[in-house]
Amino acid sequence: MPIIVNLDVMLAKRKMKSKDLAEIIGITTANLSILKSGKAKAIRFSTLEAICKALDCQPSDILEYVKD
């Protein structure tokens, strides 16, 4: 898929663990792992909003479009 999820990069920048982020935004670590690995088919605006709020960043910091 040409949409790349840079969540692990943002987590490293903010020095935050996946487990902590999952707890803050209220999703399971398994679902966060699906999102990080790029296996997710879609992301809800509410989840994106919660991630941006928790990591203090913009959606563009997490999602990136790369041509095939």
Binding footprint of another protein on the chain (CB under 8 A): 27, 31-32, 34-35, 39-44, 47
Minimum CB distance to another protein smaller for 27 or for 67? 27
Minimum CB distance to another protein smaller for 31 or for 60? 31
Vertex 63 angle, CA 67 and 56, to 5°: 155
| Least distance between another protein and beta carbon 40 (Å) | 5
Find the farthest-apart pair of alpha carbons in the chain and give their distance in angstroms, rounded.
34
Q: Which residues contact 7 (CB under 8 A, 6 or more apart)?
A: 32, 35, 36, 51, 62
Minimum CB distance to another protein smaller for 16 or for 40? 40
